[in-house]
Amino acid sequence: MPRRELLRNVRRIVVKIGSSLITEEGVISNRKLLRLVRDIAGILRKGYEVVVVSSGAISAGCGALKKDRRLMSIPEKQAAAAIGQILLMNAYRACFKREGFEIGQILLTEDDVKHRRRFLNSRHTMNTLIEMGVVPVVNENDSVVVKEIKFGDNDTLSAHVTNIVQADLLILLSDIDGFYMDLADPYPVEEIYKIDEGLIARAGGSGSVHGTGGMITKLRAADIIIKSGEKMIIANGNIMGVLGRIMKGEKIGTIFVGKGNSLKGKKRWIAFSASTRGFLTIDDGAVRALVERKKSLLATGVVSFEGRFDLGDAVEIRSPGGISIGKGIVNYSSEELEKIKEKKTGEIRAILGETFFEEVINRDDLILY
């Protein structure tokens, strides 16, 4: 399909910039950065809204400390990020200022994405910056997170940022030209509509054509974007004017295309961001009500559950056979659910009084796999 056609309705774009594109021997290269910033400014002037996700804090910090990243402990890397993030932002600010734009820094952690309120708060902040004509520049808040609660890579972070700001397109710029099926093939694949195990194996499994150079994280980001119904492009950021050319419709890199009937709003957050606090096992009747009749989950269908949760927390939903069939936001705490599971509406009223919700999980707060 012509690219122009695929990108016709794109208005808001997240551009992810990899460290290698903006550093030279561990130091931020103003020359390299300015070239990319000019490209971004070019599409901003065309009327696109842009959010930048940039790596480079740890690299820049290591450069300033004259330390080899590979020899550093985790706290040292976190310290390097604290030092380097300032250098990174100063460099972005100077470059964007030359182009007439102000920038705003947003540092996120995985926790910010998992909590619905923080997710929405960061959306409001970024929307406000965009409305002000300011360019949000996002990075992971590396200094305050440890491995267990880290995105760890900015490919994943940028897919979440795409959901936070409800962007139509994510462009991952790095030093690779796109996704190759085969090394013998001189051109990257033009369009991909689905991420399956075969593609993942090519990206990182044995016989991979990409080595371990981060293609897996790019495909995982693409999976989130495709399932969200949006689009993602992997392109080489060393190509002169790459963003302007992509938006003019040139077939550069690989485009990943999501389906039209996508998950929207809260459901998308439930699917990709919310972390679960336990699971509910439901009976066959409830499975049918959910899957075939598109109904909400009622207390009478909940056979048992595990975990401690509160109203508003996400839980997994399992079939009687223990298969995970979906995920949803509960209207009851685990203590309350203990009292009302397998009970009918009338009985629940008698137990909990008038202030009760009809459903354990409302249809609008639920996604099925």
Residues at the contact surface with ligand GLU, assessed by CB under 6 A = 19, 55-59, 139-140, 142, 153-154
CB of 214 to ligand GLU, least distance (A): 7
Q: Is 342 left (phi over 0), alpha (psi -120 to 50) or beta?
A: left
CB of 35 to ligand GLU, least distance (A): 19
- CA proximity to 162, closest of 269, 313, 21, 298: 269
CB of 56 to ligand GLU, least distance (A): 5
Residue 194: both structure tokens together: 């689905």
Output 6 or 86, the one with its CB closest to ligand GLU.
Answer: 86
- Residues 329/312, Cβ–Cβ less than 8 Å: yes
- Give me the residues paired with residue 172 across strands: 16, 234
Output 140 or 313, the one with its CB closest to ligand GLU.
Answer: 140
* Residue listed under structure tokens 């399909």: 1
CB of 369 to ligand GLU, least distance (A): 28
Output 112 or 142, the one with its CB closest to ligand GLU.
Answer: 142
AA identity, residue 167: A
Output 84 or 328, the one with its CB closest to ligand GLU.
Answer: 84
Output 111 or 190, the one with its CB closest to ligand GLU.
Answer: 111
Q: What are the backbone angles phi and psi of residue 368, rounded to the nearest 5°?
A: -110, 145
d(CA 305, CA 141) in angstroms, rounded, equals 35
Question: Widest CA span of the chain, in angstroms?
Answer: 71
CB of 257 to ligand GLU, least distance (A): 24
- CA proximity to 101, closest of 32, 48, 144: 48
Output 40 or 58, the one with its CB closest to ligand GLU.
Answer: 58
Which residue, judged by CB position, is nearest to ligand GLU in the bound state? Answer: 55
Output 161 or 297, the one with its CB closest to ligand GLU.
Answer: 161
CB of 175 to ligand GLU, least distance (A): 12
CB of 63 to ligand GLU, least distance (A): 11
Output 3 or 218, the one with its CB closest to ligand GLU.
Answer: 218
CB of 59 to ligand GLU, least distance (A): 6
